């Protein structure tokens, strides 16, 4: 599988993650208190939603992050080939981000589902249980935030050095996009859509931009044979384009070789030798026929 295909899979995963975030987060937010300033807040509207919404949102988030890992892996391959460093740190940070991110979506979906199921019986108890259930996971969720920061810093540091050859890479940074999203969410009036897009979906949208931008980079030599890498082909397409040209040229060469062999090769020499031998065999007969004529002429001269 080529690098471009991995990025396309990651783009599809980012879109799925955004859809899952919309299902989980498109609610009117409650006031954020304490540690909840760093994470999406609970909402009273969870009790009025259908429970299947949280199940589908959690599943989409888990599947999406597994697909997005293909993009992180592709970036680590690019870092190894283009930079020669940071690839191991990026790969480890991406594993932590994906694993903790899947758990994050699961726990948040379960928290919302519990609140939805228990709110009809006792809303105070429902809120207490769901908040405690989610708060125990906040510390683990910090790992996802830290790993995401590491990923963003590596992308930014490599981009600002001009590794990818375009200055616009300086602007394509997840942290920058998330900062703009937070500012927009602060300025705009609070509602369910803004909360879903800019509070929940900011991370998936930021990664969507990153994967789309990386997919525009020409495919690297990853996936080529050792010979192709050694001769410096930049991508798979260039390698096969030149390969097919060489194949056509070789076929033309073989046809010309056959024609040359027919005209000037060993077979033509054999035919030439045979014709010369035949001429040599015929030559004595001609001389023998000519010899009596000469003797007759000599005799005639003598008699005269």
Surface-to-core class of residue 216, CB atoms within 10 Å of its CB (0-12 exposed, 13-18 middle, 19+ buried): exposed
Nearest to 24 by CA among 60, 65, 63: 60
pLDDT computed for residue 67 by the predictor: 92
- Render pLDDT for 253-289 as a digit per residue (tens, 0 to 9): 888 877 777 776 666 555 555 555 565 565 555 455 5
Q: Considering only 157-166, 167-176, 230-239, which range has the smallest mean pLDDT? A: 230-239
Query: What is the distance of C-alpha 160 from the center of its chain?
Result: 22
User: Which residues make Cβ contacts (< 8 Å) with residue 43, sequence separation at least 6?
Assistant: 27, 28, 29, 30
Q: Is the pLDDT of residue 33 over 50?
A: no
Q: Domain-by-domain residue ranges, the chain?
A: 3-220, 239-303
Q: Is the pLDDT of residue 131 over 60?
A: yes
Cα separation of 31 and 61, whole Å? 25
Average pLDDT, the chain: 72
The answer to whether 72 and 90 are in contact (CB under 8 A) is: yes
CA distances for 161 relative to 127, 153, 210, angstroms: 49, 13, 17
Q: Is the pLDDT of residue 297 over 60?
A: no
Cα separation of 47 and 54, whole Å? 11
Of the pLDDT bands very low, low, confident and very high (cuts 50, 70, 90), residue 125 is confident
Q: Considering only 91-100, 136-145, 152-161, 191-200, which range has the smallest mean pLDDT? A: 191-200
pLDDT computed for residue 37 by the predictor: 46
**Residue 156: Cβ within 10 Å count:** 18
In this prediction, what percent of the chain has a pLDDT beyond 90? Answer: 1
**Residue 304: Cβ within 10 Å count:** 5
Cα separation of 57 and 25, whole Å? 9
The pair of structure tokens assigned to 253 is: 């060469």
- Render pLDDT for 196-250 as a digit per residue (tens, 0 to 9): 676 677 788 888 888 888 877 765 545 555 556 566 665 555 666 677 678 778 8
The pair of structure tokens assigned to 90 is: 């990026």
- Look at the block and give the residue holding tokens 């994967």: 211
The answer to whether 54 and 113 are in contact (CB under 8 A) is: yes
pLDDT computed for residue 242 by the predictor: 75
Cα separation of 97 and 240, whole Å? 36
Of the pLDDT bands very low, low, confident and very high (cuts 50, 70, 90), residue 136 is low
Greatest mean pLDDT among 80-84, 110-114, 208-212 lies in 208-212
Mean pLDDT across 106-118: 79
Q: Considering only 3-7, 12-16, 73-77, 295-299, which range has the smallest mean pLDDT? A: 295-299
The answer to whether 143 and 151 are in contact (CB under 8 A) is: no
Mean pLDDT across 280-300: 52
pLDDT computed for residue 57 by the predictor: 85
Q: Is the pLDDT of residue 13 over 60?
A: yes
């Amino acid at each position: 599988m080529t690098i471009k295909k991995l990025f396309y899979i990651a783009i599809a995963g980012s879109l799925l993650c955004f859809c899952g975030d919309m299902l989980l987060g498109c609610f009117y937010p409650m006031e954020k208190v304490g540690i909840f300033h760093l994470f999406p807040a609970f909402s009273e509207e969870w009790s009025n939603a259908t429970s299947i919404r949280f199940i589908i949102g959690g599943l989409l988030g888990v599947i999406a992050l597994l697909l997005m890992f293909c993009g992180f892996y592709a970036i680590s391959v690019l870092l190894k080939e283009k930079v020669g460093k940071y690839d191991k740190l990026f790969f480890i940070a991406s594993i932590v981000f994906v694993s903790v991110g899947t758990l994050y979506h699961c726990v948040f979906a379960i928290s919302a589902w519990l609140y939805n199921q228990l709110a009809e019986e006792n809303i105070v108890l429902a809120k207490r249980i769901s908040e405690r259930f989610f708060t125990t996971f906040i510390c683990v969720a910090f790992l996802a935030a830290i790993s995401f920061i590491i990923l963003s810093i590596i992308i930014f540091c490599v981009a600002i050095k001009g590794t990818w050859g375009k200055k616009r890479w300086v602007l394509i940074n997840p942290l920058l996009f998330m900062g703009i999203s937070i500012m927009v969410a602060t300025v705009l009036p609070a509602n369910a859509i803004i909360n879903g897009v800019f509070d929940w979906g900011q991370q998936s949208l930021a990664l969507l931009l990153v994967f789309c931008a990386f997919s525009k980079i020409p495919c690297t030599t990853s996936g080529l044979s050792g010979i192709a890498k050694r001769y410096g082909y930049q991508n798979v397409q260039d390698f096969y384009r030149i390969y097919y040209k060489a194949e056509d040229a070789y076929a033309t060469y073989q046809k010309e070789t056959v024609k040359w062999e027919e005209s000037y090769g060993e077979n033509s020499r054999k035919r030439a030798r045979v014709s010369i031998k035949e001429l040599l065999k015929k030559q004595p007969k001609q001389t023998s026929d000519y010899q009596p004529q000469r003797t007759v002429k000599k005799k005639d001269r003598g008699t005269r």
